[in-house]
């Protein structure tokens, strides 16, 4: 209990029945009250005067003792300190046997006024001594309570600061907890930074006042000893200023009242502490303003910091007090914890930023192998992030039950950036395969067709020469025969040219109206009727088995083996990404990346999973983003970019056929996610 702000009233309560017998003397600081009911008189004084502590010497007859004692037992002992003087016959003294320490004396009615006055003075002396003892006990108790509260606050602050990863939220938390503990009405946080020239500056980062909502923007100031915060940042000293308007003119620092004038505020008491890191370097300053904590009186508020509002001059005069000296060391400890939290936060952000840039650089390097897909992973990541933000705004339906935190979105972004990383293990030529045959294979096939052309040309030339020689030797007319051979040759050569042109058409990866394998079978049958040989006399293979396989492709440019190798990139991605020691909040990245080619009807890869419950929401989102970017990409060698209107139709068709998530597709289309990505516009 704290009594320093209470008023002590010394009172002699004389029972009315004894007023004719005794006439006690009263000093200027003492008050004599004659009453027929001491209980009611005491209650009246304590109830009427809330700020009073009653020192009472109560003179009563023996017959009223027990009733008064019972009543006194019910009163808050911290409001009244008393001594009893009992008046009675000597024969009745045995009736007084309880709470003797409150009875100063037992007197008879014939006692002299002089002796009575001595007893009264002695009683007040005992009361004062007892009160002083209680004060000391209370002082030590309050110190112990303060120390326990400070220790508890430090633990709570350490726990709170260590759990916050967002720098802005961390700074707000540091200031809020500092104000809450010290009872401060307002405060600011400054951070030390270096400009491009290496000069150290002080950035006003954040400010808050419980009594007023005052929007303040960041600004940078010179780091010198002229300002209060600058002085602390330079010297590392703690400043506990009782009144900023009464700073010694000879002090190296001064108070700038500009803020107060602008916002009708009075910055009176201040506690300004440096934030030092583990190297004892000052990284910032915490400045607390206007303590409202009642250091010396009874605690009336759970927390003065935000329960007491300073709205008028009288409020500042009534509630603002200097910061208790004990907060100097406590705030130094808190500032130390805050500095560690800020440094850790910076380090975590720096590591995360470095890792993020490393991932982006790696993705850029991987995509540079295949110019056709350059930027694809970044666009897919951007689409996924926008879809996550859109899902967070959904108020009804299936998607309303999903909410993405900032960490969830970052996890999704990393998964999207890395979703094609496994392509580094795939033959680069496959990615560049714009048509069914690789360019060199097509050129070789053309050369073989040209060889066949020349072979037929020579074959029929030989036939013509043989007929002509036979005509000369036997004097026969061979003109008609030569003409027939020549016409047959022309027809054959013309057909070879047509076959060559058909092969060139077959080489295109577009879907045709005819079956490529049937056309190819007819060509092969036709070519095989020609017994073409090489220079060693062996049969010459014009169309190789690999050519046959590739030219028979019905859709796209990849044969089955190549398609399987391409599809294996998700497995390779999973293997690679799983080796990264992700923190717990990013543990789903490998699985998200692995499943982005799964389809709800089970026709996807690598595992043919079916149904929403089998594939995560993030993977289903990425599937849409991946398809959209593949269809709209301007630089794919095997196809032209598809117009947005047609892409929308394709996505809806895929949703209707249970390949893509219909709710996600509709969200993507109705929210026009694609219009929110600058690189897609």
Asked if residues 385 and 676 have their Cβ atoms less than 8 Å apart, the reply is: no
Query: How would you class 175 by CB atoms within 10 Å of its CB: exposed for 0-12, middle for 13-18, buried for 19 or more?
Result: buried
Distance between CA atoms of 398 and 217, rounded to whole angstroms? 41
H or E, element range at 470: helix 439-474
Q: Where, residue-wise, is CATH 3.30.450.40 in the chain?
A: 166-348
Instruction: Please tell us whether the domain made up of 166-348 is placed in CATH 1.10.4160.10.
Output: no
Alpha carbon distance 654, 666 (integer Å): 12
How far apart, in whole angstroms, are the C-alpha atoms of residue 60 and residue 22? 11
DSSP state letter for 98: S
Instruction: For residue 609, give every residue at least 6 positions away whose Cβ sits within 8 Å of its Cβ, in sequence order, or none.
Output: 595, 598, 602, 615
Around Cβ 193, how many Cβ atoms within 10 Å?
Answer: 15
Query: What pLDDT score was predicted for residue 298?
Result: 41
Running DSSP on this structure, what letter comes out for residue 400?
G
Q: Which run of H or E residues covers position 472?
A: helix 439-474
Interatomic CA distance for residues 438 and 413, integer angstroms: 35
Mean pLDDT by 10 residues, the chain (681 residues): 66 91 88 92 85 89 87 83 88 66 81 91 92 85 75 76 77 87 91 89 91 84 93 96 95 92 92 91 94 61 67 89 90 87 84 88 83 84 96 95 95 95 85 87 92 90 86 73 89 90 86 72 82 83 89 87 90 93 92 95 94 96 95 71 91 96 96 84 57
Question: Any idea which fold 7-138 has?
Answer: Rossmann fold (3.40.50)
Q: Is domain 369-427+565-680 given the CATH code 1.10.150.130 in the classification?
A: no
Which residue spans of the chain are classified as CATH 3.40.50.2300? 7-138
Using a 10 angstrom Cβ sphere, with 0-12 exposed, 13-18 middle and 19 or more buried, the burial of residue 373 is buried
pLDDT at position 304, please? 59
């Amino acid at each position: 209990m704290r009594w320093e702000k209470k008023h002590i009233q010394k009172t002699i309560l004389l029972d009315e029945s004894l007023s004719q017998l005794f006439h006690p003397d009263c000093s200027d600081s003492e008050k004599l009250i004659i009453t027929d009911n001491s209980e009611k008189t005491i209650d009246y004084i304590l109830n009427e005067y809330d700020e009073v502590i009653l020192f009472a010497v109560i003179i009563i007859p023996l017959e009223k003792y027990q009733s008064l004692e019972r009543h006194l037992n019910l009163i808050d002992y911290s409001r009244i300190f008393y001594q009893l003087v009992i008046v009675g016959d000597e024969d009745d003294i045995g009736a007084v046997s309880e709470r003797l320490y409150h009875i100063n004396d037992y007197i008879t009615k014939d006692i002299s006024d002089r002796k009575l006055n001595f007893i009264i003075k002695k009683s007040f002396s005992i009361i004062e001594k007892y009160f002083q003892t209680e004060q000391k006990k209370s002082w030590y108790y309050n110190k112990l309570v303060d120390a326990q509260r400070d220790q508890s606050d430090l633990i709570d602050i350490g726990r709170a600061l260590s759990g916050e990863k967002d720098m802005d939220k961390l700074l707000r938390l540091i200031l809020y907890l500092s104000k809450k503990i010290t009872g401060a009405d307002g405060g600011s946080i400054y951070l030390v930074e270096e400009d491009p020239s290496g000069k150290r500056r002080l950035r006003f980062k954040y400010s808050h006042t419980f009594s007023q909502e005052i929007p303040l923007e960041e600004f940078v100031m010179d780091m010198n000893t002229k300002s209060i915060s600058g002085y602390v940042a330079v010297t590392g000293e703690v400043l506990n200023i009782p009144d900023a308007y009464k700073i010694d003119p000879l002090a190296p620092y001064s108070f700038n009242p500009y803020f107060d004038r602008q916002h009708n505020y009075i910055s009176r008491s201040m506690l300004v502490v440096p934030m030092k890191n583990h190297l004892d370097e000052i990284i910032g300053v915490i400045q607390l303003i206007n303590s409202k904590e009642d250091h010396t009186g009874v605690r009336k508020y759970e927390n003065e910091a935000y329960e007491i509002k300073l709205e008028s001059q009288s409020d500042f005069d009534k509630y603002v007090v200097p910061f208790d000296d004990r907060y100097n060391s406590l705030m130094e400890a808190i500032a130390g914890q805050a500095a560690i939290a800020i440094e850790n936060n910076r380090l975590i952000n720096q590591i995360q930023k470095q890792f993020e840039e490393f991932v982006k650089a790696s993705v850029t390097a991987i995509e540079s192998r295949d110019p056709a897909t350059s930027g694809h992973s970044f666009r897919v990541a951007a689409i996924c992030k926008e879809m996550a933000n859109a899902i967070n705004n959904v108020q009804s339906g299936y998607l309303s039950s999903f909410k993405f935190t900032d960490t969830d979105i970052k996890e999704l972004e990393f998964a999207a950036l890395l979703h094609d990383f496994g392509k580094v293990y795939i033959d680069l030529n496959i990615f560049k395969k714009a048509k069914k045959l690789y360019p060199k294979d097509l050129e070789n096939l053309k050369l073989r067709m040209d060889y066949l052309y020349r072979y037929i040309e020579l074959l029929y030339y030989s036939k013509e020469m043989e007929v002509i020689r036979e005509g000369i030797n036997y004097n026969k007319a061979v003109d008609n025969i030569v003409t027939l051979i020549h016409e047959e040759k022309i027809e054959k050569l013309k057909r070879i040219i047509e076959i060559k042109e058909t092969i060139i058409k077959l080489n295109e990866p577009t879907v045709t109206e005819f079956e490529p394998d049937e056309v190819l079978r007819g060509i092969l049958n036709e070519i095989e009727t020609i017994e073409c040989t090489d220079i060693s006399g062996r049969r010459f293979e014009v169309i190789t088995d690999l050519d046959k396989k590739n030219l028979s492709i019905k859709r796209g440019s990849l044969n089955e083996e190549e398609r399987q190798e391409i599809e294996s990139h998700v497995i390779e991605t999973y293997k690679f990404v799983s080796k990264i020691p992700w923190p717990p909040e990013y543990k789903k990245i490998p699985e998200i990346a692995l499943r982005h080619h799964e389809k709800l009807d089970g026709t996807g890869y690598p595992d043919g999973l079916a149904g929403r419950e089998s594939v995560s929401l993030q993977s289903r989102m990425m599937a849409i983003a991946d398809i959209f970017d593949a269809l709209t990409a301007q630089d794919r060698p095997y196809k032209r970019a598809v117009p947005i209107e047609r892409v929308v139709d394709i996505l809806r068709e895929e949703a209707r056929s249970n390949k893509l998530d219909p709710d996600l597709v509709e969200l993507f289309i109705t929210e026009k996610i694609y219009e929110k990505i600058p690189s897609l516009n």
